[in-house]
Structure 1
Amino acid sequence: MTSPQTTPQRPVEGFRAGFACFIGRPNVGKSTLMNALVGSKVAITSSRPQTTRRAIRGIVHRADAQLIVVDTPGLHKPRTLLGERLDSLVRSTLTEVDAIGFCVPADQPIGPGDRFIARELAQVRRTPTLAIVTKTDLATKEQVAEQLLRVGELGEFVDIVPVSAVDGYQVDLVGDLLVSHLPEGMPLYPEGDLTDEPEQLLVAELIREAALEGVRDELPHSIAVVVDEMLPRQDRPDLVDIYAHVFVERPSQKAIVIGTKGSRLREVGTRARRQIEALLGTKVFLDLRVSVAKDWQRDPKQLRRLGFYD
């Protein structure tokens, strides 16, 4: 996509532009909320925890503001080198944004992970933090009210707001509140850009999302995807050929991803191709291969090879 740049259009007086990030423990709805704010799918979502592995930027265009939302990986106690790098990424992001959205789900009790993050946020005193109670569509009104009180006890927040990204409840309000803390200034991205993620990386993420569906609990963290090649077919300009590798850590995991006689890999390819075609707006031929990269989450060289840099 496009790197930040000043657009030639003069914004309205009082126009605001800046960055906000969502933080929370894994699987609390951060990516779904960002997609709802942007109005398009720019981050993959899954019921599996720790789906997000990068600080993905989604761009919200408004008449009065441009809000760049940074979706961060879930903050957790790292068990691998990859986990350590993801935690470092989250902490560095907190110091670089204009506002923070602390996400806590309405349908789950507050636990040690939420309290740990609240303590971390208490040290980022200069950045205003909005507490967001997510997934209200999965909780009763009584549960939501109780959770709002419990979240208020975790720290000092500029606002506490319940939201459902699924049914749209108060999504716009979250946007309004975050925008109110942005500095005045020119837009940072051209009109129409929804993310600054390269298309090949977005395609790899959509393949990984498809591969995460229905796998065993121990497998999601071991899956990585690299797009080796992506280019229009010479005799078919309306068709894009994509060649990608799905990496796992052990031969037994490779067998799970492929499935009996390749049945599961074909399902992954079909599911991913639909999403990729919607992203690119063109027909896609998708070639998927599965390879073993032994213990890649703990190997610095393999992490770099798979795109996870220091």
Structure 2
Amino acid sequence: MSAEFRSGFACFVGRPNVGKSTLTNALVGDKIAITSSRPQTTRHVVRGLVHRDDAQIVLVDTPGLHRPRTLLGERLNDLVRTTWAEVDIVAVCLPADERIGPGDRFLVREVAKLRRKPVIAVATKIDLVNPDRLIEHLADIAKLGTETGIEWADVVPVSAQSGEQLGTLADLIVQRLPEGPPLYPAGDLTDEPEETLVAELIREAALEGVRDELPHSLAVVVEEMGPRPDRPEDRPLIDIHANVFVERQSQKGIVIGAKGARLREIGQTSRAQIERLLGTPVYLDLHVKVAKDWQRDPKQLRRLGF
């Protein structure tokens, strides 16, 4: 192995729903972080691994920094700040299809407090805008750096959807990583436990198509997961028993749907994703339970893994 092999941690940060998880998945080359049109989809730190001949990048996808309204929100913000302090590079995601606003300025001022750490500005979602708008957006990013006292190590426009400039972004990250051996085995895509990934895929399926008030009230816990013992080796089946938690009885009805139709749809959608992840047929047993006001209750948060 070359003495110049580099390895280290890079963190994508930004307001909720600016494309951090989609960008992580695109660079890793597989789905390791769930994505949704709903803000604040990511609830814990997800590490995705990018393997190259000259480097290994550990991409850390974090929840979006936001103004918290619950104890869960406060804990997610604490998680973001702790992660920033531990990585080698911070990449701030600023979507090209949105104007830079107060939330972005607040976030960049927070990042500016990290002394002697390279910060890259990433203009995401460039496939959604025309060239004139992109030029304007890049000028706004430069102005944002001046306003907040941050000196961008690089400014790079990318599209996770089309793949445009993804290689350039990876190259810029690698240039700023310390020299060192790989931190994870070749072939690994993430260090997330399979149970966590499965729970996240179920939550992603449950998030789609629900009413606006529901997304932050959903949590999923995999209670049991393992191969069915009586199956022949050439026809394995994994049994998964999971609970979808909501905060109120009325929300339970929304998730289950008329005659259980919505829950069946969640099961079918997530099972297909889980089978792809595990490479094995899956029997998925889903139940919906009420954990009253869990986002504000320390005991419930611990039980649900926060």
**The two structures share one fold, judged by TM-score above 0.5:** yes
1:1-310 counterparts in 2 under 5 A?
A: 11-155=1-145, 156-236=151-231, 237=233, 238-308=236-306
Please give the per-residue CA displacement for 1:142-201, whole angstroms capped at 9, x wherever unaligned. Answer: 111111110111112011110000010001111111111110001100001110000000
Question: Which structure 1 residue ranges, 5 or more long, are not aligned?
Answer: 1-10
Q: Secondary structure at the match of 2:237?
A: strand
Q: How far apart are the structure 2 equivalents of 1:55 and 1:39?
A: 18
Q: How far apart are the structure 1 equivalents of 2:131 and 2:94?
A: 16
Q: How far apart are the structure 1 equivalents of 2:7 and 2:155?
A: 22
Question: Which structure 2 residue ranges, 5 or more long, are not aligned?
Answer: 146-150
Q: Secondary structure at the match of 2:86?
A: coil
Q: How far apart are the structure 2 equivalents of 1:180 and 1:159?
A: 11
Q: How far apart are the structure 2 equivalents of 1:307 and 1:118?
A: 29
- Runs of 4+ in structure 1 deviating by more than 2 angstroms, as ranges, are none
State the aligned residue count. 298
Q: Secondary structure at the match of 1:153?
A: helix
Q: How far apart are the structure 2 equivalents of 1:218 and 1:152?
A: 36
Amino acid at match of 2:21: S
Amino acid at match of 1:232: P
* 1:212 shift after superposition: 0.3
* 1:89 shift after superposition: 0.5
Q: How far apart are the structure 1 equivalents of 2:246 and 2:206?
A: 11
> What TM-score do the two structures reach when normalised by structure 2?
0.96
Q: How far apart are the structure 2 equivalents of 1:152 and 1:212?
A: 35
Amino acid at match of 2:51: H
Q: How far apart are the structure 2 equivalents of 1:153 and 1:293?
A: 46
> What TM-score do the two structures reach when normalised by structure 1?
0.95
Q: How far apart are the structure 1 equivalents of 2:122 and 2:268?
A: 35
Amino acid at match of 1:176: D
Q: How far apart are the structure 1 equivalents of 2:258 and 2:252?
A: 11
Please give the per-residue CA displacement for 1:89-144, whole angstroms capped at 9, x wherever unaligned. Answer: 00011110000110010001111110111111111121100000000111111111
Q: Could you say which residue in structure 1 is the equivalent of 2:148?
A: none
Q: Could you say which residue in structure 2 is the equivalent of 1:5?
A: none
Please give the per-residue CA displacement for 1:226-269, whole angstroms capped at 9, x wherever unaligned. Answer: 00000101122511000000000001111000000000000000
Q: How far apart are the structure 1 equivalents of 2:98 and 2:122?
A: 14
Q: How far apart are the structure 1 equivalents of 2:247 and 2:190?
A: 30
Q: How far apart are the structure 2 equivalents of 1:54 and 1:126?
A: 26
For the aligned residue pairs, the C-alpha RMSD in angstroms reads 0.7
